Amino acid sequence: MPDRDLHISDRRAPFRAVDPDIRRIAADLRRDIAAATPRRSGRLAAGWQSVRIRDAHYHVRNPVPYARFVEHGTIRQPARPAAGRVLARYRARWGR
């Protein structure tokens, strides 16, 4: 087989190809974090979002103002992490 130079004409094509799978994983992650989130009023659990940044890049976030205090705790309130535990489980499953 002769040596050939590989020329990639569209560098975003691999990202577009896996985007549906990554979108599904981000949605599953959002759902699992919401299910593991402690509830008092339900606002925190309902606030989780998976946001597409670009092809195959998603952020799972919670814009509720007190989300970080529940997740990480404060001086007077212990942490009740939901995202950290679910994310650790996903990392163990996907090897990262």
Predicted TM-score (pTM) of this structure: 0.85
- Taking residues 21-35, report their average pLDDT: 96
If you ran DSSP here, which 8-state letter would residue 54 be given? E
- Taking residues 19-36, report their average pLDDT: 96
Q: Where are the domains of the chain?
A: 14-94
- What CA–CA distance (Å, rounded) separates 70 from 42? 13
Residue 41 in tokens: 């009023």
Length of the chain: 96
Give pLDDT tens digits for 39-75: 999 999 999 999 999 999 999 999 999 999 999 999 9
Which amino acid does the sequence have at 79?
A
- Report the half-sphere exposure of 72 (CA within 13 A, side-chain side): 5
How would residue 22 be classed by pLDDT, with cut points 50, 70 and 90?
very high
